[in-house]
Amino acid sequence: MATIFSRIIAGEIPSYKIAESDKFFAFLDINPMAKGHTLVVPKQETDYIFDLDDDLLAEMTVFAKKVAAAIKLTIPCNRVGMMVIGLEVPHAHIHLIPIIKEGDMSLANPRVKLSKEEFEEIAEKIRDKVE
C-alpha cells in the first residue's frame, strides 16, 4: 500500500505544494512547527532516508537547499533548520523549519495552527521564490 506521501505526490490527497522535480516533491507540513515548515520527499518510496542510493540522497539535499532558500526569503527567520526523524511516516523525508533560535526545533513545542487560506498564501509565496 502506498504511503500517505506517495498518495500526496500522486495527487490523491491534497497538499500545499511548494516545488516538484522528476525525483522530489516539497509541500507544507499540515501540522507545522512554524509557518513555512516544509517536507521534502523523494518520489521513490523508501522508508529510511539512509537506504536511499547515495546519488539520490545527495540530489535530495540539493533540492532541499533550493526550497530552504525560498523559505528563508519568504518567512522571517534567522535560519532554516533541517531535521530528519523518519518515524512518523514510512517514507524518507526532510523537515525544513524556519527558526529564530535552536529551541524552535524542539518537538515538544506546540504546533502552529493555520487556516486553509494561510497555508495557501504561504505556499504560493514560497513557491514563487523557488529557483
What is the residue extent of each domain of the chain? 4-127
Q: Are strands 24-28 and 38-42 parallel, antiparallel or unpaired?
A: antiparallel
CATH topology of domain 4-127: HIT family, subunit A (3.30.428)
CA distance 4 to 98: 24
> Could you tell me the three cell numbers for 3?
504511503
Full-model pTM: 0.96
Sign of the torsion angle spanned by Cα atoms 10, 11, 16, 19: positive
Instruction: Return the pLDDT at 73.
Output: 98
pLDDT below 50 — which residues of the chain?
none
Active-site amino acid positions: 93
Return the pLDDT at 27: 98
Q: Between the CA of residue 81 and those of 10, 11, 37, 129, what are the distances in Å?
A: 27, 27, 10, 18
The H or E element containing residue 79 is strand 79-83
Rounded Cα distance between 74 and 124, Å, is 10
